[in-house]
Amino acid sequence: MSKKLRIGLFGFGVVGQGLYDIFTHTTDFNAEIVKICVKNPHKSRPLPADRFTFDPDDILGDPTINLVVEMINNTEDAYIIAKTALQNGKTVVSASKKMIAENLEELVALQNQYNTPILYEAAVCGSIPIIRNLEEYYDNELLYSVSGIVNGTSNYILSKIFQENLSYETALRQAQEAGFAETDPTADVGGFDALNKLCLLVTHSYGIFVKPEELFNYGIQSLSKHDIQFAKEKGLKIKLVAQTRKLTDDTITAFVMPQFIAPNDYLYNVENEYNGVAVEAAFADKQFFMGKGAGGHPTGSAVLSDISACRYDYQYEYKKHQHTRIHYTNDVILEVYVRYYQEAVLDVIPFLQIHEKYSSHNFHYIIGDINLSDLILIKSDLATQDLFIANTGKKTTASKPLTAPIFVSDQKYI
């Protein structure tokens, strides 16, 4: 039997309103939104004023509320809400990927200490149930890699560029006008949003906790017409890809970078605000998940799914973490494309080997091998250089081989 859920909702923005709208069209759900906590008392809202409160304790301190749904933008406040709710014996459903990525190990410890679940399917890929699948379907599966497009804003921009021949600047402006990009789009186009989501994917894929600052992320904000031309001439697209993969029996790596994608790749036809995640496993082989990664209703549907699971006291068990021998490493060789204008830029990037070099009056590019650990060391320097880096997708090599054979994809750019 399902239990009755009395919900305290934090946040009534796009996702919060999307969830409320879904609730009004869902019958026989055995749950109700009792109170909604918001910040601005002067903002006009489409519900009666008595539905709202401006004091978090009206929800967190109410013993009749047994589920807290947190969907606010402030990371620090979201952390306090989630932590307090768990300590007060309330189940938590959250969509705050940055807050969870930065505090996941502590939140899991609180879940275990107070036996109060925290669920966050909506924090990764909107409507795609990737967290639940990694937890349940792949709970005993040997995973080789999990990779995908996990940020709808950057994918919308890149789709406009490659489908409609728009410049990066024009595509970004259209994304802002459509409500997909913020006035300051750095979190999305800089790969930081994807980075936070990747941290969660790493935990549910391989059972280890990683902090965002441990991983390398590089975005699309320095993309130029020369990079677009290079990709188009070779019949490729550029996508911002987050990926984690097994390197050896006991090591995995993870990073976020633009990547050249070939037509035979699953991600090639993932366009606009859609997300797509490819999973490679020993026994299930390749599986692909695609769905909308942005918007009130798609994300609200993921929140609703978590709420539904809460009726039956579902929680992530983190079984992989309990038995894992795996650790994270940045000691991995990648083949990358680097476009630049000034030769002095090459003094910053420590290539191990160069495969191809092109020079013209307008720009230059190099394709070569580099150690991911070196990229992390120069990460702050890269942000100040006039260049663009993309993963060719042709090489991700560890410093030592697997002792057992591992499946090798026949798709070149994945």
Contact 28, 2 (CB under 8 A): no
Neighbours of 342 (CB within 10 A): 11
Q: CB-side exposure of 258: number of CA atoms within 13 Å?
A: 28
Spot the catalytic one: 197, 237, 246, 320. 197
Helices (H), 234-318: 296-310
Using DSSP's 3-state secondary structure scheme, residue 239 falls into strand
Please give the Cα distance from 107 to 101 (Å, whole number).
Answer: 10
| Residues constituting the chain | 414
Q: What DSSP string describes 164-230? A: H---HHHHHHHHHHTTSS-SS-HHHHTTHHHHHHHHHHHHHHHS----GGGSEE--STT--HHHHHH
Q: Are strands 387-398 and 332-340 parallel, antiparallel or unpaired?
A: antiparallel
292 is a catalytic site residue:
no
Backbone angles phi, psi at 317, to 5 degrees: -95, -15
* Whole-angstrom distance, CA of residue 42 vs CA of residue 53: 12
Q: Are strands 91-94 and 143-149 parallel, antiparallel or unpaired?
A: unpaired
* DSSP assignment letter at 134: I
d(CA 146, CA 346): 31
Is the Cβ–Cβ distance between 134 and 239 less than 8 Å? no
- Catalogue the active-site residues: 197
